[in-house]
Amino acid sequence: MDHSEQERGGSGEGRGQGEEQVQQLQQQQPQQKAHQIQYFLNTRVTAIERSGRKDPIIRFDAQTNLPRFRTTQFRDIRRTHAEIARFQEYLINANPECIVPPLPPPVTSAGAGTEEDERRVRIGVQNWLDRICANPVLIRDEEMVHFIESDFGYSPSISRHAPATGLRRHAIKQLAPPPDNSPLATSRPTIKQFYLSTLDTASKLEKLSKTRRTLSAAELEFGNRIGGMGGPEHHLGMSNAFRKLGKCVEKIADYHTVQATAESASLGDHLHLAASSALIAKETLTTRQILMRELIHAESTSRKQLATVTRLKASSSINTQKVDEALALLDEQKTFETNLAAKVTRVTSNLEEEVQAWTRATAKELLHAMRDHARRNIEAERRLLAAFEAVRPDIRSIDSSGGLSRLGRENLVRARSGSHLQARKGGPDTDPWSALPRASAAVTEREEPVKSGGVGVIGGVEERVDARNAASLLSNF
């Protein structure tokens, strides 16, 4: 009887434990689902509206599953460039643990109002929004809700300022950095050097573009003068060659102007943007150092308050009011120190990842800019070569013997070594510089057969000058 009751009791306890485990699993499942939720905020720039020289209006859509938003989709959000700049300034001051990307300027070097300028501004703003929305700390900022949901005339609802500004911040920068054992100790000097180098490179590139534009103006005037020389020229071939050469030089001047603009737009703007990004990263790391100094000062103040309380307690005549005030100040200072220490720890741990992400993003953007710059320079040089190739037939057709290709030395007996000669694939009526057929074969230069030791001459076959050896042959004269 007792044994059966014990078995029933034991089975009841087992069922009770099983039910408790089931309830615990049911409670853990919603928590696991909640942890699996990935919050996101996606934006897409749809258009940029410009009205003269006024600040452009950026129109974009947004989609999110973050809490505190009144809906998940927002259509046709309109923000001026200045409003986005104010939002960026707020994010920099309110989130010292994040490196906020720089906002591209509203006008690029491609020229205001052009399609290329609008395309670059649109891509720049889209990249900025993508980097902001990819940061889990920034999208959870309270001001993000106000930035997305406000109708018109946005301005930050919360005013945030840096820990130190103006002369105080400049004076703190002159001091030695506080003791730091984290990997960020060497990051600020490196980023500062990168900022100065990038800024110097951008200024030199601006000077290069300015010099190229000056060269373009000089080439345009030179082309006009060359074209004017064709009027009084009586020789028909020379007159035509002067006119065509003048137009060629004018075309080259236009190409140099386009190249200067493309150089500034493809690489100069990216260098300025990289310098701005480095400046923001440097100032963010400076803010961290200021917070560390405040923590050191708070710890020193806490020790002083603790010494005051200890002295009051050890005195022969204890004043309860003074002791209570000292204890209250000590508790307040301890709370402030604890919160500041937690903030410094959070900022340091997050900035270690932010610096690595910033390095990768900056290297990727500069690599893309240099690749684009190199591609545009290659295209510019190809256009220059095409312009020279287009005018070459007119220069060759100045006279019937092929123009200037023979350099007026048709009957000159050349004393050359056999190592400079190779057999030509073309016939005797081909031009030795381009392997093209001559306009006229009236004057034919007869070459002496090369003796033993020469290259490519067998059985008295005439040898022609190879275009690949023309430079070495000319150097002997």
CATH number of the domain enclosing 364: 1.20.1270.60
Q: What is the spatial distance between Cα 42 and Cα 124, in angstroms, rounded to a whole number?
A: 16
- Fill in the DSSP letter of residue 157: S
Q: 362 with 472, same domain?
A: no
- Fill in the DSSP letter of residue 108: -
Looking at the structure of the chain, the number of domains it has is 3
Task: Give the type of residue at 477.
Answer: F
Q: Which of 120, 137, 160 is the last residue of a domain?
A: 160
Q: Is the pLDDT of residue 319 over 50?
A: yes
pLDDT per position as a tens digit, 348-406: 999 999 999 999 999 999 999 999 999 999 999 999 999 999 998 888 777 666 555 55
Mean pLDDT value of segment 109-129: 90
Looking at the domain assignment, is residue 19 inside a domain?
Answer: no
Could you tell me which residue, 408 or 257, shows the higher pLDDT?
257
Could you tell me which residue, 1 or 301, shows the higher pLDDT?
301
Q: What is the spatial distance between Cα 95 and Cα 346, in angstroms, rounded to a whole number?
A: 11
Q: 302 with 207, same domain?
A: yes
Q: What is the spatial distance between Cα 101 and Cα 126, in angstroms, rounded to a whole number?
A: 12
Largest CA distance in the chain: 139
Q: 262 with 232, same domain?
A: yes
Q: What local confidence, expressed as pLDDT, does residue 236 receive?
A: 82
Q: Which residues of 45-81 are buried (b: 16+ CB within 10 A; e: fewer)?
A: beebebeeeeebebbbebebeeeebeeeebeebebbb
Q: What local confidence, expressed as pLDDT, does residue 429 receive?
A: 59
Q: Is the pLDDT of residue 430 over 80?
A: no
- Fill in the DSSP letter of residue 66: -
Q: What is the spatial distance between Cα 364 and Cα 276, in angstroms, rounded to a whole number?
A: 16
| Average pLDDT of the chain, as a whole number | 80
Q: What local confidence, expressed as pLDDT, does residue 404 receive?
A: 56
Structure tokens that stand for 455 in this block:
């290259």
Q: Is the pLDDT of residue 187 over 60?
A: yes
For residue 412, name the pLDDT band (cuts at 50, 70, 90): very low
Q: What local confidence, expressed as pLDDT, does residue 337 receive?
A: 92
Contact residues for 246 (Cβ-Cβ < 8 A; gap 6+): 223, 224, 225, 226, 227, 228, 229, 230
Angle (CA) 214-215-220 rounded to 5° is 100
Between the two ends of the chain, the Cα-to-Cα distance in Å is: 129
Pairing of strands 41-49, 73-80: unpaired
Looking at the domain assignment, is residue 254 inside a domain?
Answer: yes
For residue 473, name the pLDDT band (cuts at 50, 70, 90): low
Q: What is the spatial distance between Cα 325 and Cα 250, in angstroms, rounded to a whole number?
A: 86
Mean pLDDT value of segment 120-134: 94
Facing residues of 45 across strands? 60
pTM of the model: 0.73
Q: Is the pLDDT of residue 171 over 90?
A: no
Looking at the domain assignment, is residue 336 inside a domain?
Answer: yes
Looking at the domain assignment, is residue 18 inside a domain?
Answer: no
Q: Is the pLDDT of residue 424 over 50?
A: no
Per the structure, the complete domain to which residue 424 belongs is given by 402-477
Maximum mean pLDDT: which of 148-162, 194-208, 456-470:
194-208
Q: Answer whether 369's CB lies under 8 Å from 270's CB.
A: yes
Q: What local confidence, expressed as pLDDT, does residue 431 receive?
A: 53
Entry field: residues in the chain: 477
Q: 119 with 253, same domain?
A: no
Q: What is the spatial distance between Cα 364 and Cα 361, in angstroms, rounded to a whole number?
A: 5
Q: 361 with 430, same domain?
A: no
Q: 274 with 180, same domain?
A: yes
- Residue found by looking up tokens 């749809």 in the block: 46
Q: What is the spatial distance between Cα 313 and Cα 319, in angstroms, rounded to a whole number?
A: 9
190-199, 264-273, 446-455: range with lowest mean pLDDT: 446-455
Looking at the domain assignment, is residue 245 inside a domain?
Answer: yes
- CATH number, domain of 101, equals 3.30.1520.10
**Is residue 441 classed as helix, strand or coil in its secondary structure?**
coil
Q: 475 with 394, same domain?
A: no
Q: Is the pLDDT of residue 43 over 90?
A: yes
Mean pLDDT value of segment 155-159: 83
Query: Cα-atom radius of gyration of the chain, to the nearest Å?
Result: 39
For residue 231, name the pLDDT band (cuts at 50, 70, 90): confident
For residue 170, name the pLDDT band (cuts at 50, 70, 90): confident
Q: 166 with 248, same domain?
A: yes
Looking at the domain assignment, is residue 4 inside a domain?
Answer: no
Q: Which of 160, 185, 220 is the last residue of a domain?
A: 160
E strands of 8-159, at which residues? 41-49, 57-64, 73-80
Q: Is the pLDDT of residue 445 over 50?
A: no
**Mutual orientation of helices 269-314 and 320-396 as an angle, nearest 10°?**
170
Of 74, 75, 85, residue with least CA distance to 124: 85
Looking at the domain assignment, is residue 22 inside a domain?
Answer: no
Q: What local confidence, expressed as pLDDT, does residue 180 receive?
A: 82
Q: 312 with 370, same domain?
A: yes
Chain centre to alpha carbon of residue 124: 10
Q: What phi and psi, each to the nearest 5 degrees, are found at residue 112?
A: -65, 135
Q: Which of 375, 398, 421 is the last residue of a domain?
A: 398
Structure tokens that stand for 446 in this block:
């007869």
25-34, 39-48, 179-188: range with lowest mean pLDDT: 25-34
pLDDT per position as a tens digit, 261-316: 999 999 999 999 999 999 999 999 999 999 999 999 999 999 998 888 888 877 77
Q: 439 with 465, same domain?
A: yes
Of 295, 276, 298, residue with least CA distance to 347: 295
Looking at the domain assignment, is residue 7 inside a domain?
Answer: no
Q: 155 with 166, same domain?
A: no
**Is residue 176 classed as helix, strand or coil in its secondary structure?**
coil
Structure tokens that stand for 6 in this block:
């014990």
Q: What local confidence, expressed as pLDDT, does residue 24 receive?
A: 60
Mean pLDDT value of segment 188-194: 94
Q: Which residues of 306-336 are buried (b: 16+ CB within 10 A; e: fewer)?
A: eebbeebeeeeeeeeeeeeebeebbeebeee
Q: 364 with 349, same domain?
A: yes
